[in-house]
Structure 1
Amino acid sequence: MNISPPKRKRIDAVGPKLKVLLIALLVAFSLLMINSVFLGSVTFFEWLNQTVYQDYFYQLMFLGHITLGLICIIPLLLFGSLHFKNTFQRKNKRAIYVGIFLFAALILMALSGLLLIRFDFFSIKHPSVRSISYWLHVVLPFVCIWLFVLHRLVGPKIKWRIGGLVSIAAIVISLIVAVWQTQDPRQWNRVGPESGEQYFFPSLSRTSTGDFIPAKALMQDQYCLSCHSDIHEQWQNSAHKMSSFNNPAYLFSVRNTREMAIQRDGDVQAARFCAGCHDPVPFFSGAFDDPDFDDVNHPTAQQGITCTSCHAITHVNSSKGNADYTIEEPIHYPFVYSNNQILRWVNAQLIKAKPEMHKKTFLKPLHKTPDFCAGCHKVHLPKELNKYKWLRGQNHFDSYHLSGVSGHGVTSFYYPPKADNNCNGCHMPAVASNDFGAKFLDDSNQLKVHDHMFPSANTALPHLKGLPPLTNEKHRQFLQDVMEVDIFGVREGGEIDGPLLAPLEKQTLKLEAGKTYLFQVVVRTLKMGHLFTQGTADSNQVWLELVASNGNKVIGRSGGIEENEKAVDPWSHFINAYVLDRDGNKIDRRNAEDIFVPLYNNQIPPGAADVIHYKITLPDSLEGDFKLTARLNYRKFNTPYMRLFMNDKFTTNDLPVVELAKDAVVISTSESKAIEKQNQTKRPNWMRWNDYGIGLLRKPKKSQFKQAEHAFKQVSDKGKGLAELNLARIYYQEGRLEQASDALARAATNEYPAWPWTVTWFSALIDKQNGYFDAAINNFERLLNTDFNDAKARDFDFSEDYRVWVELAQTYIERAKTHRSQQAEAAKQADFTKAREALYTALKYDVENHQAYYNLYVIAKLTQDHKSAEKYRNLHEKYRPDNNAKDTAISAHRVKNPAADHAAAPVVIYDLNRPTIYTEQITTLKPLEEK
C-alpha cells in the first residue's frame, strides 16, 4: 500500500500582516524618494553653480531623510527575513535570486548611508571611503528600483499607472522645491545698509541687517567645542581669545579711551574704534555703548574674539582695515539653542552628516586671504578719535602686500622661491588632530587642522594669564630663526668713515689698548612677511644688547637691564616705533587717541637689514682676548607700560625675555691673529656684504650712502647682480641717473643677474625722469603684466603693486602735457583717461593712497573738471602726512629726553663706555661694578 507524503501547506509570500509592513515600507520609500529627489537636485545645482544652497529648510528635509532612513532599517531587515523564509523553497528560482540581490542592495544602501553619518562612537573620515560610500548611496536606489521591478514581474501584475503618476508627481514637486531653494533668499555675503555702518562708526564694521546681533549667537564656543575640541583648546590660549576686557593690557588702554571719550564727547562712541576688532561680542550686541558697562562682570566682557565672531564674517568691504567687514547672525542647524540633550545630539549628527551649510556659514574663501586678516591688522586713526586728522596706525598688511614674500611688490631686496599668498602659512601651521574638521592638509598622511592658537609673538599673555607652558613655548618656537644678528665689521677711530675691516671672520686683527673702535652690527629679518616688529610697536620692547668683556670683566655694555624693575637702559638701540603726542610727550599707555607724530621708526621690512654702530675705547691696561657678544632680545611690553596697566600690582617687569638671535666674536689684544666668530652666520659672505649695504642704504636722510656704496662694491660671486642693482638704488636717489642706468645694465647682464622686475622698475623710473615717457610706460605695463618667466614660476603677481599704477598714471599725465597742438588733443585726452584708470586701480588696492588722489586732482584741474578737482583735493588733504607736525612736537621731546634725542639722530653711535646703573644679565660674567 502506497502512502503519499502529506501535502505541504502553501505559505503566502506576503501574508496579511507582512503586507501591512510592506505597504508601510513602500510608503516610507516613496517619501524617501521624494525627499531624495529634492536633496539630489539641490546637490546638482550646487555642483553646477559652485555654490551652496543649503539652509534651515534643507536641513529639516535632510533630518527627515536620516530619520526615515534609520526608522526603515529594522522593518526592512524584518520584512526581508520573513519574506525570504516564506519563499526560499519555491520553484521560481529567478524570482528568489533577484529578491536576494534586491535585499542585499537595500542592505548595502542602508549601510552606505550609515557610513556617511558621523556618529560620536564611529566616524569615517577618509575622503576616499566617504566618496565611495556617497556614490553607492546615490546609485543603489536606482539599482533597487530596477531589481524591484524585475522581482515583481514574476508576481502580481504591477500597477504601472499609479506608480508612474506617483513618481512623476514626486519628481516634479521635488524639482520645484529644489529650484525655489536655489533662489537663495538669504542673499549670502550681502553688505549691510548704511544705517548699520553709521551706527558702528568710527569702527568700519557693520552687520548685514544694520541691527544688533544677540550676544548668545556670538557666544557659542561650547557648541563649537563639541566637534572641534583641539581647535577650541588652541583658541582658548590664543591672543584672539584674550583680545577684549579679559586682557589686562588692553583693559587699561580701552578704559582710558572710554573715559577720554566720555569727558570729551559725553559718550563712548569714539572707543568704537577699538571695539570692532577687540570687543565684537559686547559691540555687536549693543552693550559696548553703555557708559556704565561693567567691563569685568558683564557676560560679554570676557569673551574676546569668539569662534562665531570671526567665522560669521561674510564680507571684507575694503582694504582700509579698522574692522571694515560685514558680519551676520549665523543661521544654525535645527535645535542649536535647545537645552534638551537629545535634540542637541540630533543637531550634532546633522552637522556631521551634512556639513556643507555649516561650512558655508562658518568657513568661507575669504578666511584664506590676507585681506581678511587685514580687517583688524591694518589700522588708521580716524579724525573722530583724535580730533586731529586721519593718521596711519599699525599696518601688517601693506608691508606684507608690498614685500617679496607676497610676490606683489617689485622693489624687495630679496624674493622667496614661491610667493606666500596668505598669512595662515606662518600663523596657522598645520598640527595633528582628530577633530571632526581635520583633513589631510599635507603629504604626511595624517589628519590635521590649522593651529588656532595663532603662534606669533605675544609672550606676555601666557605669563599674565597663567596659561599652560606649551602656549609660551609655541610663541618661543615661532620666534626662532626669525632674525639674525651679525657682528660684521670694525672701524678704527670710532667713526663711521674710519678704515673698515669686514667681515669679522677669519680676518687677522689685533686690538690695541687705549684706542677707540667702532663695531658695526647687522640685524637682518629672515622668516618675516611684514615689518619687524609691527603690531603694538610703541610698547613692544625689542633691543640690541652688546657686551664687551675681557675675561670675566665687563669693559663696555649697551642694552643692560636695571636690577629692580627690570627696565632696559633707555640709551639702548630699540627696534620699535617711538611715537609722540602733539605736546611732545611719549605715547606710553597705548593712548591711540593722542598719537600725533613718530620721533623715529626703527622697524625693519621683510628681507631687509639695519646697521647699528657701537663705539668703545679700550682700557689702557687691557690684556688677553677681547670678546664682543650681541644679543637681540624681545619682551612683549616695556616696563613703563607694565607699570601703568599693572598699577598697584606692579613690582617688576617679570615678562619673559626671548633671545631672538645672538652673535659673538673674540679678538686678540696681544698678537695679530685670526678673529674667532663663535656664532657662524648661515649666510654667505656676499650676502653679508649686501645686507650690510642695505642697512646703510636705509639710513635716514641718505646719511650713510657713501658707506653703502662701498659695501655693495665689495659684493662678489652670486650676489654681484643684486649689488649692482642696489648701487642703482643709491645713484637714483642721489639723482645720478646716468650712473644708475649703467649700474642697472650691469645688474641685468651679470652672470648672476638681479631680479629683472626690479631692474625694470628702476629703468622705468629713470626713463620717466629723463622724459622718455613711451619707454617708461612700456616698462610699467610690463611690470603690471608680470611679464617675467621667473616671476610667474614663483607665483608672483605685480599687478597688485599700487605704486606701479601710480607711477604709470604720473607718466601718462606727463606725456599728456607734451601734446600741445590742437591736433593732438585726442591723444592728450586718451592719456588722461588711461591715467585715471590706472589711479582707480591703485585705489582698489590702497583706497587711502594720497598720491593717487593728488594725481586725480591734477587731472581734474588740467581738464577743467572743477567739481572732481575739489573732491580729490579734499581726499588728498585727508590722507596726506602732516609734515608740519614734526616741527613742534619732535623738537619739544628731543629737548627734554637726551636718550631719545640721541636715538633720533641721522647717524647714531652707541657708546659702550657710557656710565650706567643698568645691570648686565649674563651668567658667565661676574656682577658689574659701579663706575
Structure 2
Amino acid sequence: AAILPFVVFGLYHFITARNRPNRVAVRLGLLLFGSGILVCLTGLALIQLEGMPQLPTGTVTRTIVYALHIIVPLAAVWIYVLHRRAGPDINWRWGYSWAAGTGLFVAATVFMHGMDPRAWYAEGPKEGARYFHPSDSRTANGKFISADVLMADEYCMKCHPDIYQDHLHSAHKFSSFNNPAYLFSVKETREMGLKRDGNVKASRWCAGCHDPVPFFSGAFDDPNYDLVNHPTAHAGITCTVCHAITNINSTIGNGAYTIEEPQHYPFAFSKDPTLQWVNNQLIKAKPDFHKKTFLKPFHKTAEFCSTCHKVSLPVALNHYKDFLRGQNHYDTYLLSGVSGTGARAFYDPPQGKENCAVCHMPLKPSLDFGTKDFDGTGVRKRHDHFFPGANTGLFELLKREDRYKDRAPLLDEATRKNVEFLTGTDPDGKDKKLRIDIFGLKSGAADSDEIIGPIRPELPKLKPGESYTVEVVIRTLNLGHVFPQGTADSNEIWADFTATADGKEIGRSGALKRPGTDIDSGDDSGEVDKWAHFTNVWMLDRNGNRIDRRNPQDIFAPLYDHQIPPGAANVVHYRLDVPADIKGPVELSVRLRYRKFDYRYMDLVHRPKNLPVPKLPIVDLCSDRVTLPIEGGSTVSAQESPIKPAWQRWNDYGIACYIEAGPGAKRGQTRQAEAAFKKLLSLNVPDAMPHGHINLARIYIDDGRLDAAAAELEAAKKYDPQKFWWKLAWFAALVNSETGKDLDAAIADLKKIVDPENRDPETKKDFTRDIVVLDRLASLQFKKASGETGEEQARLLEEVIETAERAQEIDQEDAESHYRLYQTYSLLGQRPQWTAKAPEPNGDVLSALAATLADPKADKGSRIDAAAKLEMGLDAFMRVPGDVYPPRLPTLRSLILTLRPAYHAEQERELKGVIASALAGLHSASVSVYKVDEVARAFATTQFRAQPGTEAANYAARERIIYPTTARHREMILKTGNLGP
C-alpha cells in the first residue's frame, strides 16, 4: 500500500525537478529515489506468500536481502539530509519536533512491547496445585485449559507437515488411552483409587505426562470419563502440550512443568478461509513472536525431558511411602560418560552428548518452515519428532485396533524405525547400542578364577565329558542411560544361548516356549524360558507378588535389578556339559533379544477381551557366534572377534566382573576383575594402558589397598593424562581421603573437577553437575571442618553448605547432600525453646511459620517463636500417617527453599542460628523420606520366596549366577538349590 504512492511521488518529483540547475540536489534525489526502490524490492523479496516465489529462511540469499533491507534505509536517511541541504535551508525546528514525537512514539511502543503479561519461566501458582496433585504439573494461572487449544496439531501441520507426520505415528502421540497397554494399566489404577479413596485422583500422577489433554482440560477427574471414546482420550502428547510449556519447575520429574494457554496470532482458529489465510501470512511475515512462544531455550535441554522421563512414586499413589524411586533416565544420563557430565565413567566418548535430542531427535532433511542448515552441510534440516526409541510393540498392538487398521503400513514403518534405532544402521557399527561377546571359558563344573580366553583368535579345545562355564559379556555402547531403564519391569530382554554339536542341541537357555509347556514354540512367539538371563528389574508388591501388570500403585521393592549402566558391562555365566561321545566341533551362539512387553503382561491385557496373546516383534539387539574344536577331533576354521579395538574385550570383562553384584555394591568378583585388568596391561596397547591402571585403582580402593591404588594412578599419568585428568583427580582424592594423609589435596582435586572454569566446550565435558563428586567434596569439607573450632570451623561449614546446596540445585532428591546439610546446620544451629503448644501439623501452617521466620521485617521475638513452632510442627507433621494435603514432600521442598536464602541473608547471630536449626530439621526429615527402605525389601523378598513357582527368579537374584542349559541342570537347582557337578 505504501509502495505505489512512493513510486508515483518519486516519478512526479523527478519529472518536475529533473531540469533544475542545482545538479547536486538532482543527483542526490535520484540516488535517494533509487535507495527507496531498493528498499521496496528487498521488502517484496522478503514477503512469504503461499503460491508465490519465496526466499527460504536461513539461506545466504535471504540473509543478504534482509541485510540490504535494514542497511539501505539508514543510508537513505543521510542521503535525504544531503539532498535537502543541497537545496534551500532546512527549517530544523520542524525536524526536531518530528524527531522528538517519533522518538517518544518509538519509546512508548518498545515499553509496551516489553510488558508481556505472561509469567514465563516461573512455576504455576500454589493455589492451582490442588487441581493437579499428585502430579507435579501446573498451569500458569492455576486454571484449566480448553481441550481445543491443546488439540491443535492440524494447525501446526500447515507450516510443519514433515514434523506433523513424524509425530502422528510416534510413541508420544500414543501416550494416552489410545495405547492399549497403558489403557489397561491406568484403568486398573483408576479403579483402585475409586475403591480405596472414593475418587480417581491418585491416577493424576500418570496424567501429567501421559494424558495432558483430558488432565489440563478438567475431564480426567470424572470417574465416568469414557477412556475409549472421549475425543481427548486419543490426543496423546500433542504439539501444543510440549511447546506451550513455560517453565521447568525442577528436575524431580513426575511432570514438574508449568504450561499455559499459548497466545496465537490473530484468527488462528477462525473457520473463515480468508481470515485463516491472513493468520498464515502474519506468521510467515514476522514469525518471531511465534518462535518465542513455542520454542524456548529449555526445550533444547535434557532438563526439559526430565519432567516426564524421571519418576518417583508418591504416597498419594501407593499409601506406603512419600518417595519411592521409579524410572530415572535423567540422573543416569548426567552421571554417564556419554553426557560429558559424569567424571567417574568407565568409558568417555570423544565428545559429550549435551542433551537427549542428540540421540532421540536426530536431524533430518526437510523444507518445513523453521528448518535450517544446522551442521554446515548446506542441507536444510529439522529435528525428528518421531523420537526414535525402544517401543517396538506399541504399533503392532495398534494395528489390531479397528480405528487404526487403515494405517497398518505406516505403523509397520514406525516399528521399523525403532528397530533400526535399536540395532543401528551404520555399516561400521558406530551407532550400535549394545554388543555381546562370547569371551571365554572356565574349566570344571565348580566356579573358578582362571579363565581360558579370550576366545578368538585362539580357539580352545573342549574335552568330551567335561563341564565348562561359558563367559558371555554384554556391553552398552551408544546409550546415555541405564539399559533398559523406563518400564524395566515389563520389558522382556533376555539372552538366548545355544550350544550345538553333531547336529544336536547340547545346551540351551532362553528359548521361547509354548504357553504352559516346555516345548519350543518354533517361532518368535510364546513364553521365554523362565531360567534364562533377563536384563530387567523384577519388582515386587508388599505381599511378595510380582509387579506384572504395570501397576505402579503396588510397587514396593525389587527382588533384583539386572540393568546395565551406560558405558559398562554385564557378565552372564552358562554351564556347558560336553557329551562324552561327542565327535564334531561345538558351536556356541548367543543373542540378546528384546520384546517390548513381556508375555505375562500381554496375557493380562488381552484376557479380558477374550483375545489371544499377540505375537509382538522380537528384536535381536546383538549376537555372537563361535565354533570350538573338540580335543582329538577335526580342526575348525580360524575365527576373529568382530569387536574392535580388541583390547576392549578384556576391559569389558573386567568391568563386568567388577560390578557383577551391582554398581557400587563392592561385592563384585574383584579377583577376577583384577586379573582381567592386569591382562589388559600385558597387551601393552597405548590406548588400553590408562584404562587398565585406573580400573585397577578402582578395585584397590574398594579393597582398601590404597598404596597399590596410588601406584596405579601414578602409572596412568604416563599416558597423556590430560585426556582423563578428571578420573585421576577423582581417584587420587579417594586415596588421599581414605589414607588421611592429605585431606587438603583431596579437597583440591574434587574442587578442580567441579570448577566451572574447567569446562571444555570443544569436547563438551562439563563435570560441574556430577553430584557424586559434589557429595564427596562436601563430605571431605565437613570432615575438615569437624577438626576445627570457633570462627574457622564456622567458615569451613559455610563451604560445606555451598557445595551441598550445589548438589541440591541439581537433584533435590539426593539423600547424601540432604544428610550433609543436616549435619552442617546442626553444628551451626541454635535450637529455640519449644513453646507450650504445638501448631497444627499441616503444610500450610508450617509454610506460614517459615514465611514469618524468613521475613526480615518481622520482629525478632516473632521470628524466634515461629522457629520454635516450626520445629514442633514439623516433628508432628512427619508422623501423621498416610496421605496428607498439602503433601509432605512438596512441603519439605518449599520450606527449604523459603529458609535457605533467609539463612544466607541473615546477619543477626541468634536468628541465623535458629534458621540453621530449622533447616537441620528439614534436611533430616528429607533424609528419612529419600533413604531406601531396606526393611521393606527384605520383607517383600521373604514373602516372594515362600511362594511356589518362584525358584527361577529367586535363583536369578543371587549375586553370581551360573545359568542352567539343560533339564538336568534345572532339576538339580530345584532339588539342591545349586548347580553342582
> Which of 408, 411, 436 is the aligned partner of 1:485?
436
Partner of 2:746: 776
> Which of 416, 439, 448 is the aligned partner of 2:372?
439
Q: Does the CA-based 8 Å contact 1:524-1:609 persist in structure 2?
A: yes
Partner of 1:799: 768
> Which of 590, 595, 609 is the aligned partner of 1:635?
595
SS of structure 2 residue aligned to 1:500: coil
Q: Does the CA-based 8 Å contact 2:758-2:766 persist in structure 1?
A: no
Q: Following the alignment from structure 1 to structure 2, what is the Cα–Cα distance between the partners of residues 329 and 678? A: 62
* AA at the equivalent of 1:511: L
Partner of 2:199: 267
* AA at the equivalent of 2:755: N
Q: Does the CA-based 8 Å contact 1:313-1:325 persist in structure 2?
A: yes
CA separation of 1:668 and 1:753: change in aligned 2, threshold 3 A: farther
1:886-908 deviation digits (Å, cap 9, x = unpaired) = 22211222343011011101111
Q: Following the alignment from structure 1 to structure 2, what is the Cα–Cα distance between the partners of residues 410 and 104? A: 62
CA separation of 1:433 and 1:754: change in aligned 2, threshold 3 A: closer
SS of structure 2 residue aligned to 1:262: helix
Aligned counterparts, 1:626-775, within 5 A: 626-647=586-607, 648=609, 650-669=611-630, 671=632, 680-700=641-661, 702-716=667-681, 717=684, 718=686, 719-749=688-718, 755-772=724-741, 773-775=743-745
Q: Does the CA-based 8 Å contact 1:625-1:669 persist in structure 2?
A: yes
Runs of at least 5 residues in structure 1 that lack an aligned partner in the other structure: 1-70, 918-931
Q: Following the alignment from structure 1 to structure 2, what is the Cα–Cα distance between the partners of residues 304 and 827? A: 57
TM-score, with normalisation over the residues of structure 1? 0.86
Partner of 1:908: 961
Q: Does the CA-based 8 Å contact 1:509-1:673 persist in structure 2?
A: no
* AA at the equivalent of 1:472: T
The Cα shift of 1:276 comes to 0.8
* AA at the equivalent of 1:179: F
SS of structure 2 residue aligned to 1:538: coil
1:717-767 deviation digits (Å, cap 9, x = unpaired) = 232322222122222222333333333333334688983322321221232
1:100-121 deviation digits (Å, cap 9, x = unpaired) = 5444333322221122221222
Instruction: State whether structure 2 residue 449 is matched by structure 1 residue 516.
Output: no
Partner of 2:67: 135
> Which of 526, 546, 566 is the aligned partner of 2:477?
526
Aligned counterparts, 1:130-529, within 5 A: 130-144=62-76, 165-389=97-321, 390-465=323-398, 466=408, 467-479=410-422, 480=424, 481-497=432-448, 499-529=450-480
Total equivalences in the alignment: 842
Q: Following the alignment from structure 2 to structure 1, what is the Cα–Cα distance between the partners of residues 689 and 722? A: 8
Q: Does the CA-based 8 Å contact 1:378-1:397 persist in structure 2?
A: yes
SS of structure 2 residue aligned to 1:376: coil
SS of structure 2 residue aligned to 1:530: coil
CA separation of 1:172 and 1:706: change in aligned 2, threshold 3 A: same
- Rg: which structure is higher? 1
The worse-fitting range, judged by mean Cα deviation, of 713-722 and 89-98 is: 89-98
Q: Following the alignment from structure 1 to structure 2, what is the Cα–Cα distance between the partners of residues 776 and 673? A: 59
The Cα shift of 1:220 comes to 1.4
The Cα shift of 1:567 comes to 1.5
Q: Following the alignment from structure 1 to structure 2, what is the Cα–Cα distance between the partners of residues 620 and 182? A: 86
Q: Does the CA-based 8 Å contact 1:731-1:737 persist in structure 2?
A: yes
Partner of 1:569: 529
1:749-789 deviation digits (Å, cap 9, x = unpaired) = 46889833223212212322223422322222222227879
Q: CA RMSD in A?
A: 2.6
CA separation of 1:174 and 1:594: change in aligned 2, threshold 3 A: same
Partner of 2:906: none
Q: Following the alignment from structure 2 to structure 1, what is the Cα–Cα distance between the partners of residues 638 and 752? A: 45
The Cα shift of 1:306 comes to 0.6
Q: Following the alignment from structure 1 to structure 2, what is the Cα–Cα distance between the partners of residues 154 and 740? A: 86
SS of structure 2 residue aligned to 1:890: helix
The Cα shift of 1:82 comes to 6.6
Q: Does the CA-based 8 Å contact 1:631-1:660 persist in structure 2?
A: yes
The worse-fitting range, judged by mean Cα deviation, of 81-90 and 639-648 is: 81-90
Instruction: State whether structure 2 residue 38 is matched by structure 1 residue 123.
Output: no
> Which of 752, 755, 779 is the aligned partner of 1:785?
755
The Cα shift of 1:517 comes to 1.1
The Cα shift of 1:137 comes to 2.2
The worse-fitting range, judged by mean Cα deviation, of 628-637 and 544-553 is: 544-553
Q: Does the CA-based 8 Å contact 1:510-1:673 persist in structure 2?
A: no
TM-score, with normalisation over the residues of structure 2? 0.82
Q: Following the alignment from structure 1 to structure 2, what is the Cα–Cα distance between the partners of residues 649 and 630? A: 36
The worse-fitting range, judged by mean Cα deviation, of 807-816 and 91-100 is: 91-100
Q: Following the alignment from structure 1 to structure 2, what is the Cα–Cα distance between the partners of residues 646 and 686? A: 48
The Cα shift of 1:406 comes to 1.5
1:219-264 deviation digits (Å, cap 9, x = unpaired) = 1111110000001110111111111111111111111111111111
Q: Does the CA-based 8 Å contact 1:663-1:679 persist in structure 2?
A: no
The worse-fitting range, judged by mean Cα deviation, of 488-497 and 101-110 is: 101-110
Partner of 1:891: 942
Q: Following the alignment from structure 1 to structure 2, what is the Cα–Cα distance between the partners of residues 841 and 198? A: 30
Q: Following the alignment from structure 1 to structure 2, what is the Cα–Cα distance between the partners of residues 735 and 601? A: 27
* AA at the equivalent of 1:112: T
The Cα shift of 1:216 comes to 1.8
* AA at the equivalent of 1:419: G
The Cα shift of 1:816 comes to 2.6
Partner of 1:24: none
Partner of 1:874: 925
* AA at the equivalent of 2:602: M
SS of structure 2 residue aligned to 1:600: strand
Q: Following the alignment from structure 1 to structure 2, what is the Cα–Cα distance between the partners of residues 863 and 857? A: 10
Q: Following the alignment from structure 2 to structure 1, what is the Cα–Cα distance between the partners of residues 811 and 86? A: 75
The worse-fitting range, judged by mean Cα deviation, of 123-132 and 337-346 is: 123-132
Partner of 2:909: none
1:692-716 deviation digits (Å, cap 9, x = unpaired) = 0100101116252221111111113
The worse-fitting range, judged by mean Cα deviation, of 211-220 and 392-401 is: 211-220
> Which of 92, 99, 106 is the aligned partner of 2:36?
106
The Cα shift of 1:553 comes to 2.4
CA separation of 1:690 and 1:754: change in aligned 2, threshold 3 A: farther
SS of structure 1 residue aligned to 2:620: strand
The worse-fitting range, judged by mean Cα deviation, of 906-915 and 690-699 is: 906-915
CA separation of 1:631 and 1:100: change in aligned 2, threshold 3 A: same
Q: Does the CA-based 8 Å contact 2:457-2:639 persist in structure 1?
A: no
Partner of 2:429: none
SS of structure 2 residue aligned to 1:630: strand
Instruction: State whether structure 2 residue 792 is matched by structure 1 residue 827.
Output: yes
SS of structure 1 residue aligned to 2:753: helix
The Cα shift of 1:685 comes to 3.1
CA separation of 1:612 and 1:885: change in aligned 2, threshold 3 A: same
The Cα shift of 1:161 comes to 5.5
> Which of 566, 584, 592 is the aligned partner of 1:606?
566
* AA at the equivalent of 1:611: V
Q: Does the CA-based 8 Å contact 2:372-2:381 persist in structure 1?
A: yes
SS of structure 2 residue aligned to 1:333: coil
* AA at the equivalent of 2:55: I
Q: Following the alignment from structure 1 to structure 2, what is the Cα–Cα distance between the partners of residues 752 and 852? A: 30
Give the percent of matched residue pairs that are identical in Structure 1 and Structure 2: 44
Runs of at least 5 residues in structure 2 that lack an aligned partner in the other structure: 399-407, 425-431, 515-520, 832-917, 971-981
The Cα shift of 1:288 comes to 1.1
1:675-696 deviation digits (Å, cap 9, x = unpaired) = 7576732323321111101001
* AA at the equivalent of 1:319: T
